[in-house]
Amino acid sequence: MNLTLRGRPRVDREHVLLWMRDYGVYVGVALVVLFNVAFTPHFLTFENFRTQAVQVAPVLIVALGMALVIATGGIDLSVGSVMALSAAMISLYLGYGPLVAVLVAVGVGALAGAANGVLVAFAGVQAIIVTLAMMIGGRGLALVLLPQLDGVRNPDLRELGSGSFLAVPYVVWIAALLVAVVAFLVRRSVFGRRLVAVGGNRRAAELSGLPVRRVLLGVYALSGALAAVAGVLVTARLQAADPNSVGVLIELSAITAVVVGGTPLTGGRVRIAGTVAGAVLMQLLVATLIKHDLPPSWTQMAQTAVIIGAVYLARDRGRT
């Protein structure tokens, strides 16, 4: 009897921990929102929500691709450099028209991701090594192609970056559309089931006849394409292409959003809704600190704490 009574709190505590690992990100968003409602002036205004949504959209788009890569048990550190490459492509090919420039930028991003995928899937190189090399080399190439900031003056691009439909910015509509597409891909498509299977047990997936290499190639190419889309939107909004600053450290924000959202670093699982909530949480956290006039060092420390906590929880998810 005593053993049962003693065991019961432990089971309850484990259930609470499991629940927090899966849904804690939503609790975090709710707490930050409540804090801002109580202590941040003008938080509950449409203009503020619009600003926060525009700022989080590029991170969210990059995080969608990162979630797919992490679900396979990999990592993609090159997304920021791919954004820089796409910005350089916009500047270089804008003379052929904005549509051509955007297509070239996204295509180059997909090719960069595919290059990562080839080395990971076919050469067997560890993803962290491959994407780290692309992170360094990709930004270097972008700076060779476009050594300094270049103004991007085009009415269509300006409309894409700053315009809106039904009072909602196009950037937000695009991010929402991509969330829906990726969610459908993960939940309803054969490709989605295969990438989860590859992340769960790659060897078993190979033995069962799944095209593991093609899945990995597709996942990294998709991650690169999504990062390029984010780079295009940032360039369009700023009306400037600056490979030296576009996408810097965005890989950390994307990884944090994915892991906090419930996707374990060990792979085999992907949570798109959680990724969205994770990106929103990081954006609101940073915005809250800035609005309360805390120095940038506090913002960096808060982000670091969230990243450490996310990695710690991801480790526990892998054990469970």
Indicate the domain borders of the chain: 2-319
Distances (CA, A) of 320 to 17, 25, 122, 266, 287: 11, 18, 31, 11, 34
Tell me: the pLDDT tens digits for 240-267? 999 999 999 899 889 989 988 989 888 8
Structure confidence at residue 69 (pLDDT) = 97
Q: Is the pLDDT of residue 1 over 50?
A: no
Q: How far apart are CA 256 and CA 249, in angstroms?
A: 11
Structure confidence at residue 310 (pLDDT) = 66
Q: How far apart are CA 40 and CA 51, in angstroms?
A: 15
- Where b means 16+ CB within 10 Å and e means fewer, 45-64 reads eeebeeebbbebbbbbbbbb
The angle formed by the CA atoms of residues 189, 275 and 22, to the nearest 5 degrees, is 95
Tell me: the pLDDT tens digits for 202-220? 999 999 999 999 999 999 9
Percent of the chain with pLDDT over 90: 73
How much is the average pLDDT of 155-170? 94
Q: How far apart are CA 91 and CA 228, in angstroms?
A: 13
Q: Is the pLDDT of residue 298 over 60?
A: yes
Structure confidence at residue 189 (pLDDT) = 95
| Sequence-distant (≥ 6) Cβ neighbours of residue 246 within 8 angstroms | 80, 83, 84, 87, 231, 234, 235
Q: Is the pLDDT of residue 18 over 80?
A: no
Structure confidence at residue 12 (pLDDT) = 67
Q: Is the pLDDT of residue 309 over 80?
A: no
Tell me: the pLDDT tens digits for 122-162? 999 999 999 999 999 999 999 999 998 888 889 999 999 99
Q: Is the pLDDT of residue 318 over 80?
A: no
How much is the average pLDDT of 285-307? 83
Q: How many CA atoms lie within 13 A of 217 on its CB side?
A: 11
- CATH top class, domain 2-319: mainly alpha
Q: Which residue has the higher pLDDT, 24 or 119?
A: 119
Q: How far apart are CA 6 and CA 252, in angstroms?
A: 41
Longest C-alpha distance within the chain, in Å?
80
Q: CA end-to-end span of the chain, whole Å?
A: 28
Q: How confident is the model at residue 296 (pLDDT cuts 50, 70, 90)?
A: confident
Least confident of 13-22, 29-38, 51-60, 97-106: 13-22
Q: CA 252, 255, 260, 261: dihedral to nearest 10 degrees?
A: 140
